[in-house]
Amino acid sequence: MGSVTENGVNGAAPTSFVELSEKYKSEHDKRLRSDGLSQFTDLYSIPKFRRFKQDPWADRSTYDTLPRAFDGDRREILIMGTGIAALVFAVRLLEAGFKREDLQFIDVSAGFGGTWYWNRYPGLMCDVESYIYMPLLEETGYIPKHKYASGTELREHAERIAEKYDLTEQAWYRTRMVDSVWDDTAKEWVVRLAEQLSDGNEREPITVRSRFVILTTGLMLIPQVPQIKGIQTFAGDCFHAARWDYQVTGGSQQDPSLVNLKGKKVGIIGTGASSIQIVPELAKWADKLYVFQRTPSAVDRRDNRPTDAEWFKKEVSTGPGWQEKRSQNFYSFVSNASPKPEVNLVNDGWTTMPSYSALIGNTAHNPTTPEEIGKYYQYIKELDVERQSRVRDRVDVIIKDPATAAKLKPWYSGFCKRPCFHDDYLDSFNKPNVQLVDTDGKGIDEITEKGLVVQGQHYDVDVLILGTGYKSPFLFSPPGRVGVQILGRNGADLDKKWTNAVTTLHGVMSHDFPNMFWPGFIQAGGNPNYTYTINQGALQVAHLMGSGLKKTGSTTPASSGSGSSLYKYNFTVEATAEGEENWSMAVVSHAHMLGASSGCTPSYMNAEGELEGVSDPAKLAKMARSAPWGRGQADFDRVLDEWRAKGDFEGVEIKT
């Protein structure tokens, strides 16, 4: 265990693991709220913010020229989304023999990029190394500009992939999937789509049909806001970080010169992974910046640097399959594998945080008895201390004012919240125009016409930015995260099945929902490098669908009639009830890692503390089914490799 040398926020510094645990507990207890998740509401449910539902980045003059769906259209493969997952699934399907013209993307946005399309706040970056995060680098030959890529570069990369594979014309943009119902006679999905108009309204839904549907819906999509008293009354400019308003701030994503903030008082609520990237940018321009904090993030250094192309070619892109090998090297360290590879290729804040394995599991630590599990939790918490202590020490090194430094220290295990990495965030608080307003874990008391109230003190602000996060991805099924209803065979509702008891095969498919797939991480490999998890899901789905294709080949669709003759691909792929139950039980048997975050400070990761203290065995069993594969990404990859090599498609039915 590392030494515990930091100063506590209140009282004496913890000097032992026991004292530190007590400190963690008191900070946790302070933040636990009886209203849990219901303290938040969707951004769009507040009338004042409804306008943010419209796509601010779409060029309205092109609305009438973009490709659109027509009632009665029929497609082979509908892919819901135009983000990274949608593109990676598309590419893997092309490699499996499906044709470009068989793929049809649907998205409410007007371009490719998903998360990186919507989020365009100043300072936006991905904190996972670009060489492993940016998909298909080998295939596109692209060399990322920096070790960590900016939001613009990531969005442009999505466009690059679409162009390389000639997919740009294959999207129905500004189109929302309303619902999708399986027709078991015609073996097709009957999908209702609503086109969004330039005035913000929607056309009446139309109906299209498709043999396959892929739900690449993303993880964190619906911005949320806390239900703070008076939030509607604020008279100044106010927007969520996920819908940055450059008209208010000035500048653009390409040139974040926030000139309109000169002379203004700006407030930002939240200090999560988004806000810590935004604060340094606001600090450059605002006359006065108030950062309203409920819980400090643990902010380690990022050390971003430009990519030297020659070095990249020599040291990074070392031969075919380099990206996969580098990704595997990365997760070996993050998941605390034993033994670890000799060389730490990525060698950054993630790979020096073995305690992150608390969330994603590994093969080295697989406790089975209650006693072993207890010891494992103790081990993982002790393992975390050294790193989290170093992150707290970093605050003291950077922050000049000791009182501010004390408030910026995270008092929880590093894996309780998204670990953050930034080279300028903490230093922003040394600037004379930046003030940390710590709410001592309680949050904002009230918002008035002119500003915010915290502990009886009013802070005047002209512009208010909500860095208050998104609806938790842990609580809903892939379609449920975006409010789409999926009805499978005999009216089975996918979101209800998911919330009753998650049941999938390999995290990508479910019985009663033939020809429908989605990427993990629930019941699949967990990894902070989410694009790797996406790729593993895409490879598995391409293998399944490609096997159907090999069995049946493709035909020329008939121009009229019904059922299979209208499609090129005349097969169905579905998980069997037995296969998915066996897999779900295997997930449950390794789900001990879920308990490691017991006592963690509330966040979207533990449903704001609602998952704590559950003792009802039925509820616990249900929770265990929503875990990632507890033996880690490497073991998940091995399981899938062996499953594919066996070739008997255990747990899957492919019918012609």
State the residues that interact with ligand NDP by CB under 6 A. 125-128, 220, 226, 228, 269-275, 292, 294-295, 418, 439, 443-444, 467-470, 603-604
Q: Examine residue 602 and say whether the peptide bond preceding it is cis (omega within 30 degrees of 0).
A: no
Q: Are the beta carbons of 563 and 656 closer than 8 angstroms?
A: no
Q: Are the beta carbons of 516 and 119 closer than 8 angstroms?
A: no
Q: Which is nearer to ligand NDP, 179 or 446 (CB)?
A: 446
- Least distance between ligand NDP and beta carbon 219 (Å): 8
Q: Which is nearer to ligand NDP, 349 or 361 (CB)?
A: 349
- Least distance between ligand NDP and beta carbon 355 (Å): 17
Two tokens at 620?
């616990």
- Quote the CA–CA distance of 598 and 626 in Å, as a whole number: 16
- Least distance between ligand NDP and beta carbon 64 (Å): 34
Q: Are the beta carbons of 239 and 121 closer than 8 angstroms?
A: no
- Least distance between ligand NDP and beta carbon 386 (Å): 23
The separation between CA 598 and the C-alpha centre of its own chain, rounded to angstroms, equals 21
Q: Which is nearer to ligand NDP, 468 or 503 (CB)?
A: 468
Coil, strand or helix at 188: strand
- Quote the CA–CA distance of 438 and 434 in Å, as a whole number: 13
Sheet containing 288-293, strands listed edge to edge, beginning at the edge strand earlier in sequence: 237-240, 463-466, 265-269, 288-293, 434-438
Coil, strand or helix at 39: helix
- Least distance between ligand NDP and beta carbon 536 (Å): 18
Q: Are the beta carbons of 295 and 601 closer than 8 angstroms?
A: yes
Q: Which is nearer to ligand NDP, 299 or 539 (CB)?
A: 299
Between strands 516-517 and 206-215, the pairing is parallel
- Quote the CA–CA distance of 253 and 57 in Å, as a whole number: 11
Q: Which is nearer to ligand NDP, 175 or 601 (CB)?
A: 601
- Least distance between ligand NDP and beta carbon 121 (Å): 9
- Least distance between ligand NDP and beta carbon 118 (Å): 12
Residues 6 or more apart whose Cβ sits within 8 Å of residue 501: 584, 621, 622, 625
Q: What count of other Cβ atoms lies within 10 Å of the Cβ of residue 306? A: 9
- Quote the CA–CA distance of 558 and 567 in Å, as a whole number: 7
Q: Which is nearer to ligand NDP, 6 or 127 (CB)?
A: 127
Coil, strand or helix at 42: strand
Q: Which is nearer to ligand NDP, 175 or 535 (CB)?
A: 535
DSSP of 351-376: TT-GGGHHHH--SS----SHHHHHHH
- Least distance between ligand NDP and beta carbon 83 (Å): 14
Q: Which is nearer to ligand NDP, 126 or 588 (CB)?
A: 126
Partnered with residue 244 across adjacent β-strands are none
- Least distance between ligand NDP and beta carbon 40 (Å): 7
Q: Report the candidate in 115, 55, 109, 42 with the shortest Cα–Cα distance to residue 476.
A: 42
Q: Report the candidate in 420, 655, 398 with the shortest Cα–Cα distance to residue 552.
A: 655
- Least distance between ligand NDP and beta carbon 365 (Å): 24
Q: Are the beta carbons of 545 and 93 closer than 8 angstroms?
A: yes
- Least distance between ligand NDP and beta carbon 389 (Å): 20
Q: Which is nearer to ligand NDP, 525 or 548 (CB)?
A: 525
Two tokens at 207?
């109906």
Q: Are the beta carbons of 157 and 164 closer than 8 angstroms?
A: no
- Quote the CA–CA distance of 598 and 416 in Å, as a whole number: 9
Q: Which is nearer to ligand NDP, 509 or 627 (CB)?
A: 627
Q: Which is nearer to ligand NDP, 269 or 549 (CB)?
A: 269
Q: Which is nearer to ligand NDP, 96 or 436 (CB)?
A: 436
Q: Are the beta carbons of 531 and 88 closer than 8 angstroms?
A: yes
> Measured at the alpha carbon of residue 243, what is the angle toward residues 178 and 165, in degrees to the nearest 5?
65
- Least distance between ligand NDP and beta carbon 653 (Å): 36
Per-residue DSSP letter, 29 = H
- Least distance between ligand NDP and beta carbon 131 (Å): 15
Number of H helices, E strands in the chain: 19, 22
Q: Are the beta carbons of 576 and 583 closer than 8 angstroms?
A: no
Q: Are the beta carbons of 494 and 580 closer than 8 angstroms?
A: no
Q: Which is nearer to ligand NDP, 274 or 536 (CB)?
A: 274
Q: Which is nearer to ligand NDP, 194 or 463 (CB)?
A: 463
- Least distance between ligand NDP and beta carbon 226 (Å): 3
The separation between CA 265 and the C-alpha centre of its own chain, rounded to angstroms, equals 31
Partnered with residue 438 across adjacent β-strands are 293
- Least distance between ligand NDP and beta carbon 328 (Å): 20
Q: Which is nearer to ligand NDP, 270 or 632 (CB)?
A: 270
Q: What count of other Cβ atoms lies within 10 Å of the Cβ of residue 58? A: 19
- Least distance between ligand NDP and beta carbon 39 (Å): 7
Q: Which is nearer to ligand NDP, 433 or 439 (CB)?
A: 439
- Quote the CA–CA distance of 198 and 61 in Å, as a whole number: 9
Residues 6 or more apart whose Cβ sits within 8 Å of residue 34: none
